[in-house]
Amino acid sequence: MDQLLRRQAADRSNRSTGLPAGPAAQRAPEAVRASCPVQVVAEALVRPRRRGKELEAAIFEAALDQLTSGGFARLTMEGVAGAARTGKAALYRRWASKVELVIDALDSTLPRPADTPALGSARAELHYLVESFASVARSRAGGAMSAVLAELDHEQAELFKDFMTRRMLEPTKDVIMDILRRGAERGDVRPGAASPVVADVVPAMLLYRVKVCGREAGPEFVDQLVDEVLIPLIRP
């Protein structure tokens, strides 16, 4: 009888605090912890946090995802932070604005123009270079770059123009000039063809194709650009 009275008293106490009665009451602390937001947050805080290069890579990945899916205007620091599973303060400690963040994300992802190997002819070397440039335009980073250039205001466009010129256009033109000079020495490029105007043709045509026309610079276009535009411009 005494045990029955103590159990009934315990059940009444549990009901008054919202805990289940009877044997389930022994399991109540675990259930309460599982449903308690404070407990969940506390446990999350002790999990290992990404830092340094790992965190930076996650932030850049999130920024490129937002650029390719929603464009530059819809990209927000809050959205990038959420996708990278970090705090907004972590972004602002590194970048003062989303313009700076996007420039660094593109800089870390876009391949850097490299010297074209000597392939024995100006056509082969130009084709190699144009296909390399076109593959960048077709890549995820190239799509992000196109999204950025499509919707910038004047002030932001100047910042990205400087980045694009320094990071992609000028190095690519330098490689083209080297190809044309080698071709002139071999005799398959006419004297005087190694000029900045001729070197401008490749990036200008590719940007027009992708940005203005909104079309992919595929293998067929690469062949046409080399054989129908560049070679007639430079042949002896």
Closest CA to 142 of 220, 209, 54: 209
Q: Quick one: what percent of the chain has pLDDT higher than 70?
A: 77
Domains and CATH numbers, the chain: 52-108 (1.10.10.60), 111-234 (1.10.357.10)
From CA 218, how far away is CA 42, in angstroms rounded?
A: 52
Q: What is the pLDDT of residue 116?
A: 84
pLDDT over 70 at 28, yes or no: no
C-alpha 157/C-alpha 143 separation (Å) is: 17
Which pTM was predicted? 0.69
Position 29 confidence tier, pLDDT thresholds 50, 70, 90: very low
Task: Lowest mean pLDDT of 28-32, 139-143, 155-159, name the range.
Answer: 28-32
pLDDT at residue 38 is higher than 60: no
DSSP reduced 3-state for 144: helix
Q: Hey, what are 94's tokens?
A: 């590194």
What average pLDDT does this structure show over 141-151?
A: 81
The reported pLDDT for the residue numbered 50 is: 61
Q: What is the pLDDT of residues 103-124, one digit of tens each?
A: 999 999 888 777 788 899 999 9
